[in-house]
Amino acid sequence: MDTMRVAVYHSNRDVRIERRPVPVIGPGELLVKVMASGICGSDVMEWYRIKKAPLVLGHEIAGEIAAVGDGVDAYHRGDRIFVSHHIPCNTCRYCLRGNHTTCETLHTTNYDPGGFAEYLRVPRLNVDRGVFLLPEELTYDDGAFVEPLACALRGQRVAGLQPGQSVLILGSGIAGLLHLLLARAFGAGRIIMTDVSEYRLRKARDLGADAVFHAGEDVPALLCDLNDGHPADLVIVCTGALSAFTQALKSVDRGGTVLCYSSPEPGMDLPVPLHDFWRTQIRLTTTYGNSPLDATIAIELIRAGRIPISPMITHRLPLEEASRGFRLVAEGNESLKVILKPHGLEA
């Protein structure tokens, strides 16, 4: 096992399969055999990714420990695990205040080379606080959802979602659907979703949305008609379109919260009616990433069956079809979660 296959990103339309040396691990490190690796919406944000290309992406992974470095006692060869790519230091002023995802360490850590590879090296710091054993009930595909679910979990905690509150989710891609399922599990009241895709709106309804609207409609008016004359207590923006952010500002109730979950492109400014926000006590907040606690809770939610994973997986592809997988996610047509299987579909 001297070399391995990796999917190298050049652009959303140019992902190449290459052979590279299998990473060599040192003391305190792990070598992981990647069994499932989800393609994230952030992986196809060309404005962000292409300036760093070529590179091996992939951060939603689950796999099996293939080798253990000296000094690692907590994990063993053959263990089934999820691994976080970004991990906090847990000691800086931001971590100590609970703002783990603003930690500088979190923004500078990663594994080598990335999840779209047959094997990856987990650095010592990630081994210390970013490796999680998968319960027997979880498949590798389930494990690939730990990271995106943990991000949604952190977002809803930051937003302060309470049982019984009405929720409007703008964008019914995989992030929006995870927020739907999570809000339902946490006892939210009426949940309404929007999108420009009829396919995604059907999926949202199938997964439990109380109502769905096309994003081009008069969403604030339709929302009030459905929600006893009130806008939403919580609006979660799961698309980077400026129109969705401005729509969110018009769709939140007095004393409510707008959670900016998706990332807009750099230079995009949001006009905020400050006078209206001041008078109505509306809160505008953001979220990024997740912490080890979020990942731990996400695993337990999946294990307990509170978040159904299988209905969201539309494609399982071998690594050699990575280019097709990127196109599916980038085009956003009839696909939701695309999972690459570096060691074959049956693994």
Q: When comparing pLDDT for 148 and 269, which is higher?
A: 148
In this model, does residue 264 exceed pLDDT 90? no
Average pLDDT, integer, range 199-203: 97
Instruction: Write the CATH number of the domain with boundaries 151-286.
Output: 3.40.50.720
pLDDT, one tens digit per residue, over 140-171 is: 999 999 999 999 999 999 999 999 999 999 99
> Pairing state of beta strands 60-68 and 80-83?
antiparallel
Domain layout of the chain by residue ranges: 3-145+309-341, 151-286
pLDDT tier at 21, thresholds 50, 70, 90: very high
d(CA 242, CA 172): 16
Q: What is the CA radius of gyration of the chain?
A: 20
pLDDT tier at 41, thresholds 50, 70, 90: very high
d(CA 327, CA 310): 21
Quote the pTM value.
0.96
pLDDT at res. 268:
86
pLDDT tier at 47, thresholds 50, 70, 90: confident
The set of long-range contacts for 242-248, using a CB threshold of 8 Å and a minimum separation of 24, is 242/268, 242/270, 243/215, 244/170, 244/171, 244/194, 244/215, 245/270, 246/270, 246/271, 247/170, 247/215, 247/219, 247/220, 248/168, 248/170
pLDDT at res. 63:
98
Average pLDDT, integer, range 245-268: 93
Kindly report the number of other CB atoms within 10 A of residue 49's CB atom. 17
In this model, does residue 84 exceed pLDDT 80? yes
Among the listed residues 11, 105, 111, 116, the one whose alpha carbon sits nearest the alpha carbon of residue 54: 11
Query: Torsion-angle region of residue 229: left (phi > 0), alpha (psi -120 to 50) or beta?
Result: left
| 39, 338 contact by CB (below 8 A) | yes
What does DSSP assign to residue 112?
B
In this model, does residue 254 exceed pLDDT 80? yes
d(CA 226, CA 170): 16
pLDDT at res. 277:
86
In this model, does residue 318 exceed pLDDT 90? yes
pLDDT, one tens digit per residue, over 101-113 is: 999 999 999 999 9
pLDDT at res. 228:
92
* CB within 8 Å of 186: residues ≥ 6 apart: 156, 161, 163
Give one DSSP letter per residue of 128-195, joined into a string. Answer: HHSEEEPPTT--HHHHTTHHHHHHHHHHHHHHT--TT--EEEE--SHHHHHHHHHHHHTT-S-EEEEE
In this model, does residue 347 exceed pLDDT 80? no
In this model, does residue 217 exceed pLDDT 80? yes
In this model, does residue 89 exceed pLDDT 80? yes
In this model, does residue 1 exceed pLDDT 80? no
Mean pLDDT taken over the chain: 96
117-121, 224-228, 339-343: least confidently modelled range: 224-228
* CB within 8 Å of 283: residues ≥ 6 apart: 256, 257, 258
pLDDT tier at 82, thresholds 50, 70, 90: very high
Per CATH, is 3-145+309-341 categorized as 3.90.1150.10? Answer: no
